[in-house]
């Protein structure tokens, strides 16, 4: 028996020593020199060499491979490889957030009242089967994306903005959609219900990627999206299964100013084990973690202790804001002073620590992140120099609210998000300092907005006074960031992302911005919207998120794209 | 014998129907008992931008507002005859056995399951050969060398195998074998079917086979060792030796044969369970099999998919039990007379 014990002890030591040796196996000595944040400040490993395979891995799966039915920053970033849209973003770090024409020859031409927008298509753009792309294909793509029953995942901006109330999409509604005209094969005209100065951003959405009606199979179209970009699907795509993109022979560089066709293939692995994604990135056998959420905390610790690894990382600022919501429909938060007491008592430093400290992000005081035009620095509810809360002000507000000794309420958070739950705990401890006792309840993230935080009736009935929340801009602009979380018209009762702002003055200010053609003046208004909402103490912004990304040394043309939530630019990346 | 098989077959079908009812009730009745309304259930089948009208339409479309028993019979009807689903521009046909429609993937569940069964079969087949051959061989050697260093080392490794969970051995082999020594670098990477690229497929499969087999082989080694030690003390073994039979014949034909009867029984049941999805192995190695599908479906609250994978797993286990019962009856006539 003693011999067996020796044997086990020896085996255990061997395993531990082997694990300890696993540190930086992936960094080859011949790797080119690099530096921390090099891809934040420019393009790393610039190369125009062709060939090779770029390997991506996804710890989840697309919400839908159909460009008309997808709503993640990484899918919008990646889908550009096979789906061209009327407008897109620039292809350099300097022009990353600037809109440039893609299928169109120019940005949209608006009418004077900003209710009609016209685009002219470039000649020579073809589908992967060689058929020319026409304006009717773009119109059909937008029409079908408005069928929220068949395509329930995508954004609903076109349904909200076009003068097409009640239109149910081309499958159910056989009446042609009058809100979009195609006077000829190269012209498309959008008619809006109200002035909308930022319509070019909508023309950037994947919904405008053309779909040939003859090839449309509705919800099954995702099995083979007909490409207009430099890459196309090899065979068919099956949800939940890996896929490969190969070169599209009918794509022409002469018609495309932002894309290239350097790599031979792009391979994407679906539902990969998240820790193994990091292992393979460090080993150099994987190129990119496609979700762009950064490495896991365990990998982060490993990287930061090893300067050889750290030189291949970027700590990029994203447009994601971690915040919490205070529900004004749940007593005592129907009294603004009780909400303000929570704002002042919040320990933002502890909540930042829950998200990984300074590498996880910078402490936030506004809804607009600094990377979005219109951001104005202000702090309605300072939480003290150390960020642990201003207890004097918090107690004053509690007294004004009529609850000088505090009260009891509930915090809700998403169970599958350990950082969010840790931040909820930090928030709980901060609030306890002024006598606000909280009970933390955790719910599945898949149901979080439909059945809990975003369900108006459930919030009121169950007394969910405080709700953990996070939001990333749809695009880098005031409307793309704020409209869905502050416009009272975005409240439907179920699946809401506006968790309590009901002031009609906010809607009026948003409408004013949308009627303002001057970009600078418009951005100023977005700053005012931010201030107006923060004055109501509905939201508690606490962190402008950062993500620590690892780029294997053999990856070429790597740069952080702020237009896509600080992820690497997937159009540019090529392989060794 | 025929009557025995018919009896067992009838019992198996009945069991599958009971499992179907219980499983369906767990996923569609229990949540309502716990307070969720049909509207809440329907909300799980729509996208994040859905409005109340869309959710209501989905509730009606899925018959979630119908009495539970009506929903259950609709489910059984679709299971037997298949069903059509509206995909917008066309109708999606879900052939029998149609377990329902996944509104997460926007596809019928059965084709998803069917495409994953081969991966799980390949994993189970390779690993089971390894663990059966490896485990029994080690068990026999260990029994024959009882108390000697070979026995102690073998049983020490077996103890480690039983004790170390698959996710640990998987991570260890990923870190050391694949990433450090760059052997079988395809493991955990993009899945390639065997017919597309056999070498890449092997690179995908060998380490998952080994990690799964290591756990099971350890169990089988211990079982074989115990069985062999018991059998080797039997009178008929002594008689065989007394007859002058070579030791190799005594071990292979008399001792091992008797030991293998319970081993094969357990093997059949283990294989049946495994075919329902090797959850940990498939998840750790990113193999797109039934086990990974089960985990993903649970995470997504994709109830038709969970229901489908539970049913397929149950059917594999019921069939494995049936096969074991029949083999038992063949080996021992008393079983079929009693049963």
Tens-place pLDDT, residues A130-176: 999 999 999 999 999 999 888 888 888 999 899 998 898 999 888 88
Residue B273 lies in a domain: yes
Q: Are B150 and B204 found together in one domain? A: yes
Residue B42 has pLDDT above 60, yes or no: yes
| Pairwise CA distance, residues A514 & A161, whole Å | 11
Q: Å from A493 to nearest chain B CA?
A: 8
Comparing B339 with A64, the larger pLDDT belongs to A64
Instruction: Kindly identify which residue of chain A lies nearest to residue B149, measuring between CA atoms.
Output: A3
Residue B13 lies in a domain: no
Instruction: Kindly identify which residue of chain A lies nearest to residue B93, measuring between CA atoms.
Output: A220
CATH of the domain at B242: 1.10.3720.10
Q: Are B113 and B90 found together in one domain? A: no
| Pairwise CA distance, residues B36 & A448, whole Å | 14
pLDDT of residue B169: 92
A320-545 — its CATH code? 3.10.105.10
Q: Find the angle CA(B14)-CA(B16)-CA(B17) to the nearest 5 degrees.
A: 65
Quickly state the pLDDT bin for A3 (edges 50, 70, 90). very low
Q: Are B183 and B245 found together in one domain? A: yes
Contacts of A358 (CB under 8 A, 6+ apart): A352
Q: Which is nearest to B277 in space by CA: B302, B319, B313?
A: B313
| CB-CB under 8 Å, B88 with A279 | no
Comparing B40 with B312, the larger pLDDT belongs to B312
Residue A205 has pLDDT above 80, yes or no: yes
pLDDT of residue B338: 58
Q: pLDDT, tens digit, for every residue of B265-295?
A: 888 888 888 887 789 999 999 999 999 999 9
Q: Are B171 and B318 found together in one domain? A: yes
Residue A4 has pLDDT above 50, yes or no: no
| Pairwise CA distance, residues B143 & A219, whole Å | 60
The structure tokens 């600037």 sit at A98
Quickly state the pLDDT bin for A214 (edges 50, 70, 90). very high
Average pLDDT over chain B reads 87
Q: pLDDT, tens digit, for every residue of A476-526?
A: 899 999 999 999 998 888 888 999 999 999 999 999 999 999 999 999 999
Q: Are B116 and B69 found together in one domain? A: no
Q: Where do the structural domains in chain A lie, given as residue ranges?
A: 87-221, 320-545
Average pLDDT over residues B188-192: 89
Q: Å from A374 to nearest chain B CA?
A: 26
Average pLDDT over residues B233-253: 90
Q: Find the angle CA(A351)-CA(A356)-CA(A358) to the nearest 5 degrees.
A: 85
Q: pLDDT, tens digit, for every residue of A116-127?
A: 999 999 999 999
Last residue of a domain, which of B41, B69, B94? B94
The partner residue sitting opposite B179, judged by closest CB among A283, A492, A493, is: A283
Average pLDDT over residues A48-65: 93
Q: Are A203 and A158 in contact (CB under 8 A)?
A: no
DSSP A229-286: SSEEESS---TTS-EEEEE-TT--GGG-SS----SSEEEEE-S--HHHHHHHHHHTS-
Instruction: Kindly identify which residue of chain B lies nearest to residue A72, measuring between CA atoms.
Output: B48
Residue B175's CB: how many other CB atoms inside 10 A? 20
Q: Are B311 and B23 in contact (CB under 8 A)?
A: yes
A235 shares contact with chain B (CB less than 8 Å): no
The partner residue sitting opposite A220, judged by closest CB among B92, B115, B292, is: B92
Residue A296 has pLDDT above 60, yes or no: yes
Residue B2 lies in a domain: no
Residue A228 has pLDDT above 50, yes or no: yes
A18 shares contact with chain B (CB less than 8 Å): yes
Residue A332 preceded by cis peptide, ω within 30: yes
Average pLDDT over chain A reads 91
pLDDT of residue A327: 97
- Indicate the class that CATH gives domain A87-221: alpha beta
- CATH topology identical between A87-221 and A320-545: no
The partner residue sitting opposite A19, judged by closest CB among B47, B155, B172, is: B172
Interface test with B, best of A276, A287, A461 (most B CBs within 10 A): A276
Which pair of structure tokens corresponds to residue B245?
A: 């039979």
Residue B118 has pLDDT above 70, yes or no: yes
Residue A115 preceded by cis peptide, ω within 30: no
pLDDT of residue A429: 97
Q: Å from A337 to nearest chain B CA?
A: 33
Domain that holds residue B75: 19-94
Q: pLDDT, tens digit, for every residue of A97-107?
A: 999 999 999 99
Average pLDDT over residues B37-47: 80
Measured between beta carbons, the chain B residues lying within 8 angstroms of A15 are 172
Residue A386's CB: how many other CB atoms inside 10 A? 9
Write the CA distances from A324 to A64, A478, A527, A538, integer angstroms: 29, 20, 20, 9
pLDDT of residue A32: 45
A47 shares contact with chain B (CB less than 8 Å): no
Average pLDDT over residues B63-76: 88
Helix residue ranges, H only, A106-254: 135-145, 157-161, 199-204
B218 three-class SS: helix
Contacts of B59 (CB under 8 A, 6+ apart): B38, B39, B41, B42, B65
Interface test with B, best of A450, A474, A483, A493 (most B CBs within 10 A): A450
Q: Find the angle CA(A140)-CA(A142)-CA(A146) to the nearest 5 degrees.
A: 110
Beta bridge partners of B1: none
Total CB pairs under 8 A between chain A and B: 184
The residues in A 137-176 lying below 8 A from B, measured between CB atoms, are: 144, 147-156, 169, 171
What percent of chain A clears pLDDT 70, i.e. is strictly above it? 94
Average pLDDT over residues A559-576: 92
Q: Are B60 and B204 found together in one domain? A: no
Residue A2 has pLDDT above 50, yes or no: no
pLDDT of residue A31: 41
| Pairwise CA distance, residues A417 & A469, whole Å | 11
Residue B32 lies in a domain: yes
Question: Over the Cα atoms of chain A, what is R_g?
Answer: 25
Last residue of a domain, which of B28, B63, B94? B94
Average pLDDT over residues A382-406: 96
Residue B334 lies in a domain: yes
Q: Are B82 and B62 in contact (CB under 8 A)?
A: no
Residue A5 has pLDDT above 60, yes or no: no
Average pLDDT over residues B312-336: 79
Residue A212 has pLDDT above 60, yes or no: yes
| CB-CB under 8 Å, B149 with A149 | no
Q: Are B238 and B269 found together in one domain? A: yes
Q: Which is nearest to A576 in space by CA: A560, A548, A552?
A: A552
Residue B65 lies in a domain: yes
Q: Are B170 and B310 found together in one domain? A: yes
Highest average pLDDT, of A176-180, B39-43, B51-55, comes from A176-180
Q: Are B295 and B156 found together in one domain? A: yes
Comparing A476 with A255, the larger pLDDT belongs to A255
Q: pLDDT, tens digit, for every residue of A182-203?
A: 999 999 999 999 999 999 999 9
pLDDT of residue A20: 34
Q: Are B89 and B139 found together in one domain? A: no
Q: Are B60 and B143 found together in one domain? A: no
The partner residue sitting opposite A26, judged by closest CB among B54, B159, B179, is: B179
Residue A26 has pLDDT above 70, yes or no: no
Highest average pLDDT, of A216-225, B84-93, B160-169, comes from A216-225
| CB-CB under 8 Å, B293 with A240 | yes
How many folded domains does chain B comprise?
Answer: 2
| CB-CB under 8 Å, B105 with A7 | no
pLDDT of residue A187: 98
Instruction: Kindly identify which residue of chain B lies nearest to residue A238, measuring between CA atoms.
Output: B112
Residue A29 has pLDDT above 60, yes or no: no
What percent of chain B clears pLDDT 90, i.e. is strictly above it? 34
Q: Find the angle CA(A303)-CA(A306)-CA(A309) to the nearest 5 degrees.
A: 60
The residues in A 244-263 lying below 8 A from B, measured between CB atoms, are: 244
First to last CA, chain B: 11
| Pairwise CA distance, residues A482 & A473, whole Å | 7
Measured between beta carbons, the chain B residues lying within 8 angstroms of A152 are 46-47, 49-50, 54, 103
CA atoms within 13 A on the CB side of A516: 17
Q: Are B320 and B272 in contact (CB under 8 A)?
A: yes
Q: Which is nearest to A64 in space by CA: B292, B107, B89?
A: B107
| CB-CB under 8 Å, A271 with B296 | yes
Interface test with A, best of B53, B286, B296, B304 (most A CBs within 10 A): B286
A270 shares contact with chain B (CB less than 8 Å): yes
Residue A18 has pLDDT above 60, yes or no: no
Measured between beta carbons, the chain A residues lying within 8 angstroms of B284 are 273, 276
Sign of the C-alpha dihedral, residues A290, A293, A296, A300?
positive
Residue B239 lies in a domain: yes
């Amino acid at each position: 028996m003693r011999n067996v014990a020796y044997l086990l002890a020896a085996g255990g030591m061997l395993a531990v020593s082997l694990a300890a040796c696993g540190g930086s196996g992936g960094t080859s000595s011949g790797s080119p020199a690099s530096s921390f944040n090099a891809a934040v400040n420019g393009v790393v490993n610039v190369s125009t060499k062709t060939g090779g395979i770029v390997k991506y891995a996804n710890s989840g799966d697309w919400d839908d491979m159909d460009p008309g039915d997808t709503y993640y920053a990484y899918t919008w970033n990646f889908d550009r490889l096979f789906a061209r849209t009327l407008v897109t973003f620039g292809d350099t770090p300097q022009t990353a957030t600037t809109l440039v024409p893609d299928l169109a020859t120019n940005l949209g031409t608006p009418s004077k009242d900003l209710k009609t927008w016209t685009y002219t298509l470039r000649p020579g753009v073809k589908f992967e089967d060689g058929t020319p792309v026409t304006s009717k294909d773009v119109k059909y793509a937008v029409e079908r994306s408005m069928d929220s029953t068949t395509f329930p995942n995508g954004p609903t901006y076109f349904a909200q903005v076009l003068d097409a109330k009640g239109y149910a999409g081309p499958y159910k509604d056989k009446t042609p959609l009058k809100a979009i005209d195609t006077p000829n094969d190269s012209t498309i005209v959008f008619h809006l219900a109200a002035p909308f100065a930022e319509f070019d951003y909508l023309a950037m959405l994947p919904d405008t990627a053309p779909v040939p009606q003859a090839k449309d199979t509705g919800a099954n179209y995702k099995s083979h999206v007909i490409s207009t970009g430099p890459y196309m699907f090899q065979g068919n795509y099956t949800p939940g299964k890996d896929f490969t993109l190969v070169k599209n022979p009918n794509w022409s560089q002469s018609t495309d100013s932002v894309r290239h066709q350097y790599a031979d293939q792009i391979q994407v692995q679906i539902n990969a084990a998240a820790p193994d994604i990091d292992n393979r990135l460090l080993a150099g056998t994987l190129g990119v973690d496609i979700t762009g959420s950064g490495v896991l905390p365990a990998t982060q610790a490993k990287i930061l202790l090893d300067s050889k690894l750290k030189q291949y990382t970027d700590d990029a600022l994203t447009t994601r804001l971690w915040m919490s919501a205070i529900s004004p429909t749940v007593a005592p938060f129907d009294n603004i002073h009780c909400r303000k007491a929570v704002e002042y008592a919040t320990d933002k430093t502890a909540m930042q620590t829950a998200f990984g400290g300074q590498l996880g992000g910078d402490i936030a005081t506004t809804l607009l992140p600094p990377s979005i035009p219109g951001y104005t620095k202000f702090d309605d509810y300072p939480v003290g120099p150390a960020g642990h809360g201003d207890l004097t002000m918090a107690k004053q507000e509690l007294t004004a609210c009529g609850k000088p000794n505090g009260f009891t309420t509930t915090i809700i958070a998403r169970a599958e998000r350990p950082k969010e739950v840790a931040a909820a705990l930090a928030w709980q401890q901060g609030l306890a300092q002024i006598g606000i006792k909280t009970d933390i309840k955790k719910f599945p993230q898949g149901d979080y907005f439909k059945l809990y935080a975003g369900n108006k009736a459930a919030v009121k009935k169950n007394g969910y006074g405080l709700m953990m929340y996070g939001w990333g801009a749809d695009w880098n602009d005031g409307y793309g960031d704020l409209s869905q979380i502050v416009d009272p018209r975005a409240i439907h009762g179920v699946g809401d992302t506006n968790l309590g702002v009901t002031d009609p003055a906010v809607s009026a200010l948003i409408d004013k911005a949308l009627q303002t053609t001057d970009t600078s003046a418009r951005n100023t208004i977005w700053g005012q919207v931010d201030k107006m909402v923060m004055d109501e103490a509905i939201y508690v912004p606490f962190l402008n998120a950062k993500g620590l990304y690892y780029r294997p040394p053999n990856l070429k043309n790597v740069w952080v794209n702020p237009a896509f939530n600080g992820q690497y630019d997937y159009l540019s990346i090529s392989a060794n | 014998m025929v009557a025995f098989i018919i009896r067992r077959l009838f019992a198996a079908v009945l069991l599958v129907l009971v499992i179907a009812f219980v499983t369906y009730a767990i996923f569609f009745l229990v949540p309502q008992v716990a307070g969720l309304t049909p509207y809440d259930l329907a909300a799980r089948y729509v996208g994040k931008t859905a409005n109340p009208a869309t959710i209501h339409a989905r509730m009606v479309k899925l018959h979630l507002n119908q009495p539970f028993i009506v929903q259950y019979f609709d489910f059984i009807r679709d299971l037997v005859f298949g069903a059509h689903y509206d995909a917008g521009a066309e109708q999606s046909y879900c052939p029998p056995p149609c377990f329902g429609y996944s509104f997460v993937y926007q596809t019928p569940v059965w084709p998803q399951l069917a495409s994953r069964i081969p991966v799980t079969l390949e994993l189970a087949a390779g690993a089971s050969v390894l663990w059966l051959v490896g485990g029994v061989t080690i068990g026999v050697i260990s029994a024959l060398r009882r108390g000697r260093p070979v026995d102690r080392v073998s049983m020490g490794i077996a103890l480690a195998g039983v004790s170390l969970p698959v996710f640990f051995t998987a991570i260890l082999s990923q870190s050391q074998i694949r990433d450090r020594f760059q052997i079988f670098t395809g493991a955990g990477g993009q899945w390639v079917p065997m017919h597309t690229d056999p070498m890449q497929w092997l690179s995908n499969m060998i380490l998952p086979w080994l990690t799964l087999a290591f756990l099971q082989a350890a169990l089988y080694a211990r079982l074989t060792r115990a069985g062999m030690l018991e059998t080797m003390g039997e009178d008929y073994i002594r008689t065989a030796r007394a007859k002058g039979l070579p030791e190799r014949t005594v071990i292979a034909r008399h001792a091992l044969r008797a030991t293998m009867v319970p081993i094969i029984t357990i093997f059949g049941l283990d294989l049946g369970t495994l075919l329902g999805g090797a959850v940990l192995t498939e998840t750790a190695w990113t193999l797109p099999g039934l086990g990974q599908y089960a985990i993903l479906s649970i995470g997504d609250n994709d109830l038709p998919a969970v229901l489908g994978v539970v049913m397929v797993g149950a059917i594999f286990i019921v069939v494995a039990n049936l096969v074991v019962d029949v083999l038992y009856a063949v080996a021992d006539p008393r079983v079929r007379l009693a049963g």
